[in-house]
């Protein structure tokens, strides 16, 4: 393991890669700060740039953007009460009230320190957890992979929220359907190309990611009319001192430690991600807090700000564990990174640890540097970076649209791709208006090809019988977890209803 750590250190410490971490963190902070654009959009916007870099540098840049975007989202949550992404929504609960009390600087500093601690704890656990899991997963066979991919797809859908499970499942199936467009990976037979030569290679991952996240998000912002909002809440508040007193540090230290470990564990679970981690950590801290402090939650409690910030950054790190070791992305953002790695010709999963130790370890090590950059460079620059919020939206939005479409065009030099983007964006906007989640679709699309390949292999080996699902203990265990996760929302719902009925009957 130490050999790997040194490989990672030597790769991550290369001047160019260090520059990528800094550039990624800055770019991520800029993009993440824009209301409506979260880490997924930020990472998607970076993909065309990373295509010109070597895999290690590219993935280091994207990891930096990821961290930066989460940090940027926190900044806009605190300064203008507009979370850049779902995982920083909880930050607004206590961050914005603090800013209104003329403590915006302190809130930003606390968010940065908590994020740094969360990310650092996460990176340290990752150093030990990832190789252990990777060495176990080296014994995986195609049936295990198939079961794992099913688990990844199912858990993303199952964690998508109340009333959204079926819709998320439908979107996963839709993503798998889109993945079948183009020549079949096994036989080479054209599928759903309708005679169009431009569709023979299938739909590009970059195109789909840009259309459904970057472009569709901008369009949704315009449609919601948020870019024309002139309400007081959208005006950035003035920054004050960024210093924390010793008592305040003592108060939040246990919260940060608890939330970091908790956030990492939640982040490792496929599908759970930073949003759930931040909500759970906030709830946990509110319950643990003494009554006097509990009353402060929602009105500018330091613990209420530190908990979600530490948890969402630790969860962002945790979500790299299933990506790097099993090839199963734990969140929408890591799904995009998975797609980018595949585009590089690198297959994340157990073999990544063996075949590309430089990529595996440099990503882990660069995460630590990313957190350091955010703390040392970004925090002092926040007063200047936040001026980005002053760029008129009527100028900023067309520029984001331009960068999205030109990013796709510069990879293929085919204007058909831009037309395809327009079509997919309109479709994505329609689906968003009907409250269909986009992340499961992208995950289905990315895992579609691998899922089909592994299912085909497993079926051929078992001579067409589905007994491969329960013949191997490992496959059976993963399938059992999948079924449990799939049924859990329904079981909980039924249990809740029964409990309510029993209570009303007892009354």
Partner 1 sequence: MSLTKDRFGGLLFLLLSITYGYYAADIPLLPGDKFEPFHAQTMPYWLSGLGVIFSILLIVLKPAPTMESESISNSNLVLMLGLMAFTFVFSVALPWLGFPITTSIFLASSYWLLGERRPKMLVFASVPFALVFWLLLTQVLDVYIAPARLIFW
- Binding residues (CB under 8 A) for partner 1: these are 52, 162-164, 166-167, 169-170, 173-174, 176-177, 180, 184, 186-187, 189-192, 219, 222-225, 227-228, 392-395, 397-399, 401-402, 405-406, 409-410, 413, 415-416, 418-419, 421-422, 425-426, 429, 431, 433-436, 452, 455-456, 459-460, 463-464
**Angstrom distances, CA of residue 301 to CA of 94, 97, 162, 361:** 6, 9, 28, 37
Shortest Å distance, C-beta 430 to partner 1:
9
Shortest Å distance, C-beta 486 to partner 1:
12
- Selection from 450, 351, 477, 487 nearest residue 149 by Cα: 450
Strand partners, 191: 182
For the chain, the 3-state helix, strand and coil shares in percent, each to the nearest 5, are: 80, 0, 20
Shortest Å distance, C-beta 397 to partner 1:
6
Instruction: Give the long-range contacts of residues 11-20, CB within 8 A, separation 24 or more.
Output: 11/56, 11/358, 11/361, 11/362, 11/365, 12/60, 12/361, 12/362, 12/365, 12/366, 12/369, 16/57, 17/56, 17/57, 17/60, 17/362, 17/366, 18/369, 20/53, 20/57, 20/60, 20/61, 20/64, 20/366
The span from the CA of 180 to the CA of 287, in Å, is 47
Nearer to partner 1, 111 or 431 (CB): 431
Nearer to partner 1, 5 or 220 (CB): 220
Shortest Å distance, C-beta 471 to partner 1:
15
Nearer to partner 1, 252 or 421 (CB): 421
Shortest Å distance, C-beta 464 to partner 1:
3
Nearer to partner 1, 128 or 423 (CB): 423
The span from the CA of 160 to the CA of 244, in Å, is 36
Cα 36 to its chain centre, rounded Å, is 15
Shortest Å distance, C-beta 141 to partner 1:
16
The span from the CA of 490 to the CA of 493, in Å, is 5
Nearer to partner 1, 135 or 180 (CB): 180
Contacts of 173 (CB under 8 A, 6+ apart): 444
The span from the CA of 305 to the CA of 108, in Å, is 10
Nearer to partner 1, 163 or 495 (CB): 163
Nearer to partner 1, 198 or 355 (CB): 198
Nearer to partner 1, 244 or 426 (CB): 426
DSSP 376: I
Look up residue 388 and give its two tokens.
Answer: 């980005």
The span from the CA of 66 to the CA of 313, in Å, is 10
- Selection from 333, 364, 444 nearest residue 45 by Cα: 333
Shortest Å distance, C-beta 316 to partner 1:
25
Shortest Å distance, C-beta 236 to partner 1:
21
CA torsion, ordered 85, 88, 91, 97, to nearest 10 deg: -10
* Count of residues in the chain: 507
Shortest Å distance, C-beta 37 to partner 1:
16
Shortest Å distance, C-beta 222 to partner 1:
5
Nearer to partner 1, 433 or 502 (CB): 433
Shortest Å distance, C-beta 75 to partner 1:
24
Nearer to partner 1, 48 or 271 (CB): 48
Nearer to partner 1, 138 or 410 (CB): 410
Shortest Å distance, C-beta 158 to partner 1:
14
β-pairing, 182-183 vs 190-191, is antiparallel
Give the CA diameter of the chain. Answer: 70
Burial of residue 185 (number of CB atoms within 10 Å: 0-12, 13-18, 19+): middle
Look up residue 433 and give its two tokens.
Answer: 């208006």
Nearer to partner 1, 75 or 275 (CB): 275
């Amino acid at each position: 393991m130490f050999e790997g750590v040194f490989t990672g250190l030597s790769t991550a410490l290369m001047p160019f890669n260090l520059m990528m971490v800094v550039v990624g963190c800055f770019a991520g902070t800029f993009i993440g700060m824009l209301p409506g654009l979260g880490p997924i959009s930020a990472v998607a916007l970076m993909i065309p740039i990373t295509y010109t870099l070597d895999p290690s540098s590219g993935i280091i840049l994207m990891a930096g953007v990821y961290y930066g975007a989460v940090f940027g989202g926190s900044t806009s949550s605190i300064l203008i009460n507009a979370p850049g992404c779902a995982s920083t929504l909880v930050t607004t609960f206590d961050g914005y009230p603090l800013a209104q009390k003329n403590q915006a600087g302190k809130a930003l500093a606390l968010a940065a320190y908590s994020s740094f601690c969360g990310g650092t704890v996460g990176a340290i656990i990752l150093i030990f957890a990832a190789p252990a899991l990777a060495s176990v997963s080296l014994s995986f066979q195609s049936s295990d992979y198939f079961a794992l991919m099913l688990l990844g797809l199912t858990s993303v859908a199952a964690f998508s929220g109340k009333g959204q499970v079926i819709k998320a499942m439908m979107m996963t199936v839709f993503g798998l359907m889109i993945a079948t467009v183009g020549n079949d990976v096994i036989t080479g037979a054209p599928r759903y190309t309708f005679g169009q030569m431009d569709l023979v290679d299938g739909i590009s991952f970059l195109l789909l990611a840009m259309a459904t996240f970057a472009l569709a998000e901008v369009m949704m912002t315009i449609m919601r009319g948020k870019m024309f909002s002139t309400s007081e809440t959208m005006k950035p508040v003035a920054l004050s001192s960024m210093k924390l007193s010793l008592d305040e540090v003592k108060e939040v230290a246990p919260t940060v430690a608890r939330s970091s470990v908790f956030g990492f564990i939640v982040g490792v679970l496929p599908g759970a991600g930073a949003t759930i981690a931040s909500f759970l950590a906030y709830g946990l801290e509110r319950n643990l807090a003494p009554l006097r402090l509990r009353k402060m939650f929602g009105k500018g409690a330091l613990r209420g700000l530190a908990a979600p910030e530490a948890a969402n950054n630790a969860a962002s790190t945790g979500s790299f564990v299933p990506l790097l070791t099993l090839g199963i992305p734990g969140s929408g953002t890591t799904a995009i990174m998975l797609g980018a790695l595949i585009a590089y010709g690198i297959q994340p999963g157990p073999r990544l640890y063996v075949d590309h130790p430089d990529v595996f370890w440099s990503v882990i090590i660069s995460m630590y540097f990313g957190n350091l950059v955010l703390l040392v460079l970004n925090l002092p620059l926040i007063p200047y970076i936040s001026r980005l919020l002053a760029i008129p939206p009527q100028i900023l939005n067309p520029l984001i649209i331009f960068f999205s479409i030109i990013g796709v065009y510069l990879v293929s030099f085919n204007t058909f791709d831009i037309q395809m983007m327009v079509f997919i964006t309109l479709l994505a906007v329609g689906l968003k208006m009907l409250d269909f989640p986009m992340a499961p679709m992208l995950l289905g699309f990315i895992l579609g090809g691998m899922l089909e390949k592994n299912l085909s292999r497993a079926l051929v080996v078992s001579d067409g019988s589905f007994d491969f699902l329960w013949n191997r203990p490992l496959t059976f265990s993963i399938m059992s977890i999948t079924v449990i996760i799939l049924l859990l929302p329904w079981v909980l719902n039924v249990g809740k209803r029964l409990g309510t009925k029993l209570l009303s009957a007892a009354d």
